[in-house]
Structure formats: C-alpha cells, structure tokens
Amino acid sequence: MTMAALKAQNVAQLSYQGKTIDLPVCFGTDGPGVLDLQGLYSATGLFTFDPGYTSTASCRSEITYIDGAKGILLYRGYPIQQLAEKSDFMEVAYLLLYGDLPTSVQKDEFIQTINNHTLVHEQVSSFFRGFRRDAHPMAIMVGVVGALSSFYHDSLDIQDPAQRHIAALRLIAKMPTLAGMAYKYSIGQPFVYPQSHLSYSENFLNMMFSTPTTPYVINPLWAKAIDRILILHADHEQNASTSTIRLAGSSGANPFACIAAGIAALWGPAHGGANEAVLGMLEEIGHVDRIPEFIGRAKDKNDPFRLMGFGHRVYKSYDPRASVLRETCYEILGEAGVKDNQMLQLAMELERIAMADEYFIEKKLYPNVDFYSGIIFKAMGIPVTMFTVLFAIARTVGWISQWKEMIADPMQKIGRPRQLYVGKAYRDFIPMEKRLEESQ
C-alpha cells in the first residue's frame, strides 16, 4: 500500500523582492501542518535554513505520532500506555512493521519466523575475537551489525520488497543475539545460543546471564520489565538515529549498513546514552545525604550540572513512557534483595525530593524514561555499558519499519540538504613562492 500524494488544504504567501509566491499548506491526520517548500528554490532562488531541524518535517510517515505538549505517543494510532499494559513486544513489532495488530495466527507465525532467524552465521563470532575485551559494546554493535551485510547477500537488493522484508526480520531477530555475544565477549564467557522456546525478552536475559555450568532461571517479572522497556523504546518518530537511517537509506545503502549508522547515532549521550549518564550521576552523588547539595547545583544558573534523567526536549508534560516505566521500576525495586541496594534507594529519594521541589515543578522537569530504565537495568545487574545496546535492540523494529516505509514511498529521493556558505569568496590559487609575502 502506498501513501496518497500530498494535497494542499490551504496556501501561505511569501513575498520577496517584489514577487509573491504561493506555498501549499498540507495537513496530516493530526499535529501541525507543513508548508510544502519543494518549489521554493526554483521560485525564489532561496534555501530554507533550519539547523537541528527544529521547524522541519523531513518526511511524511504513517508509523508514530507524538504530541509533546499533551504527553501523547501513538504507534500506528494506538496509545503507548495501552500497548505497554495489554500487549507484548512481538505484537508491537508486528504492529510497527505491518501497520495493524496481528490476529492470533499471524502472531504465532511472526514469532516462529523471528525464531527461525535468531542465529547468526557461525563465522560472525570470529568478528568478536578481533575486538579488545574492554571495547564498548556499542562499538562492537556498530561493527558487527554493519558486517551482517557481508553474510546475507540474499537480502541486499533494496528494490525487491521480499528481500527488504527478510532483511527486516533478520535484523529484529539477530539484534538480541549479537547484544548477548557482545556482553559475553567483554567478560570472557562463552557465547550463549538463542532458544526458540523462550520469548524475545527471556531469550535476551538468557543470552546475557546463562553459562554452560549454571542454567539461568528467568525471573518472569524481569522478563516482563524488559518486554515493557522494549515496547516503550520501539519507535519515536523522526529522532536523530531514525533520521540517520533514513538519510543513509536514501542513497540506496543496504539495510544492515543503514541500521549500523543508526546505532552510531544512538550512541551519543544526547540521544540513547542518557540512561548511562543517570547512573554516572548517581555514583557521583554517592549518598542520600548529598542529594540537597546536587539539587542546589542543578538549580544554580552558574553551575552547568543538570539532574540527568529529568526534563525532555519534546515532552513538556509528563513523558508517557516514563509514567509507565515508573510503575515497572517500583515493581522491580519491590523485589527481595533490591531494596537493600544503596544506589537504588538513592535514586528513589532523588526522584521524591526533585518532584516536590518548586524549581522542577515550575519548569515541568519530570523524570524521563531514561531515569527509570537505567534504574531497572541496574537492579537486574545489567552493566551500564549495555544500557544503550538494549535501546538499540528495541529501536531496531522502529528503524527498519521507517526504512521500509521510506523505500516504498514514491516521493522518496536521495536526502541532500543544502547549506548557507560562509567561507572565503572566490580567490585565485597562490603559487608557493608568493604565499609568505601574501600572508604577511
């Protein structure tokens, strides 16, 4: 199914140097409309200038909708709270990929297909041995996911819808396997193969924590929490990593290379790396007695310190993902053993104090999804360096759905932004013997 052509519902006028041009204004299902600027350059000789894309819709999409002011996040129209409560990650993956919730037969078939693709080519394991043991797992993921394109030659033809789809399924299925391998390699333990009788989340936990000597007993509460975190992170509209994938894919690059590019973009602390920063901050605070000092620093205009895991660029009311994860976080922390953990107690006390503080209330600085996911991962014993890898596993389905949508969109063309050139004006080449004199 292809998307309908853009239809103008209104017109805006732009006057420049005595000439007035009409710019079509188009609206989607919901959210702000767009000024269609495709004809702007030919009509006026002007480009638009919007660093950071703060006023730019880079594409049209049917997948995810966010209303940051109202705290709304919808996948294919369904609110994230309902999906987190009533669905599971495989169903949500199906929804994002195909556009509708599966019937029970479709769901079973989908899970079986994913299970058929969880193994990676045995030779992929030799890639791992080339990395240092202390390599960051995100560095390993960028490398090995990109390297998948050298193994699966039968799913590289992006003009073939069947090949595009098989590549999507392979990526969703193999990401947890590769993530588990990255972790096991870093601690010197043997790789654990995926098990088809386990759910997606159970499989991930098993590949992380099982060893040949001791079978891992999966805690159902933990598997449910991982599943929920995967649902909450599965897609988030045209964020930095998704836009990276669309741009890389617009040149015709293969899907494995595109996802590797997305993983690289996600790695940055301003994007997927924030939950790592939350744990760094908690370590720095060290003790509940020091919380007032750090709250004071966060409020001090002359101190660059900010409370990590608080505030959000898009959500100016509560991040709907954070409210769901808050409940899960409390469930996990209520488990025996966890309540004795000093760092987790510190996190809960910090949340309590900040949410009662006038500064945070007035500026609408609520805990964001990274605050709670970091604490949950920590409680499960998942190392901090793996936090962003888990984000990448979840986001793979969103990335690949967006990539597939882009390739199938008849409006798709290579992404090629222009620029405002502020360098030297035209000048003639200076021969070597004259350069010193010229510069003096």
Which residue has the CB atom at the shortest distance from ligand ACO?
311
Catalytic residue among 88, 233, 312, 319: 312
- Is 202 or 370 the residue whose CB approaches ligand ACO more closely? 370
- Is 313 or 339 the residue whose CB approaches ligand ACO more closely? 313
Catalytic residue among 88, 235, 319, 370: 370
List interacting residues with ligand ACO (CB under 6 A): 271, 274, 298, 306-313, 363, 365, 368-370
- Is 170 or 312 the residue whose CB approaches ligand ACO more closely? 312
Catalytic residue list contains 153: no
Phi, psi angles (nearest 5°) of residue 326: -60, -45
CA distances (Å), origin 232, targets 73, 89, 390: 10, 9, 12
Q: At what angle do helices 89-98 and 220-232 cross, to 10 degrees?
A: 20
CB of 102 to ligand ACO, least distance (A): 28
CB of 234 to ligand ACO, least distance (A): 13
- Is 257 or 365 the residue whose CB approaches ligand ACO more closely? 365
Q: Tokens representing 403?
A: 């990539």
Find tokens 């060893």 and name the residue: 211
Q: How far is residue 349's CA from residue 281's CA, in Å, rounded to a whole number?
A: 14
CB of 315 to ligand ACO, least distance (A): 8
CB atoms within 10 A of CB 229: 27
User: Which amino acid type is present at position 257?
Assistant: A
CB 258, CB 403: distance < 8 Å? yes
CB of 24 to ligand ACO, least distance (A): 30
- Is 167 or 307 the residue whose CB approaches ligand ACO more closely? 307
Catalytic residue list contains 154: no
For the chain, the straight-line distance linking the first and the last C-alpha, in angstroms and rounded, comes to: 66
Q: Tokens representing 346?
A: 């510190």
CB of 322 to ligand ACO, least distance (A): 9
- What residues have CB less than 8 Å from 391, skipping those under 6 apart? 233, 266, 272, 275, 373
* CA neighbor of 167 nearest in space, from 87, 88, 253: 253
Active site residues: 312, 370
